[in-house]
Amino acid sequence: MGGLSIWHWVIVLVIVVLVFGTKRLKNVGKDVGEAVKGFKQGMSDEDKTPGQLGDDSKRNEQASETQRNDDNAPR
C-alpha cells in the first residue's frame, strides 16, 4: 500500500513531460550531465599535487614573469 507501482511512475513521467516539454527536459539533462562532469574533473584535480598539474602552471608563471620584465623595460 505504501509503495508506488510502475504505473504510478509512468503517470508521473507523462505529467512531467506534458508540463515541461521534451526540449526543456533535454536541456536540463544536458546541464546536469555537464555539472557532474565538471564535479568529477574538479575532484580529480584536487587529488593532484602541484608538481602533477603539468606544464600549464609553469608556462603561466613564466609568461607572467616575462610580462613583468617587459613592463619594467625602458622605452
pLDDT value of position 4: 82
The better pLDDT of the pair 54, 37 is held by: 37
Q: What are the two backbone dihedrals, phi and then psi, of residue 16, each rounded to the nearest 5 degrees?
A: -65, -45
Is the pLDDT assigned to residue 14 strictly greater than 70? yes
Q: How many domains does the chain have?
A: 1
Answer yes or no: is 75 within a domain. no
The structure's pTM equals: 0.43
Asked if residue 1 is part of any domain, the answer here is no
| pLDDT at res. 11 | 94
Residue 14 maps to a domain: yes
Which structural domain, as residue segments, surrounds residue 50? 6-70
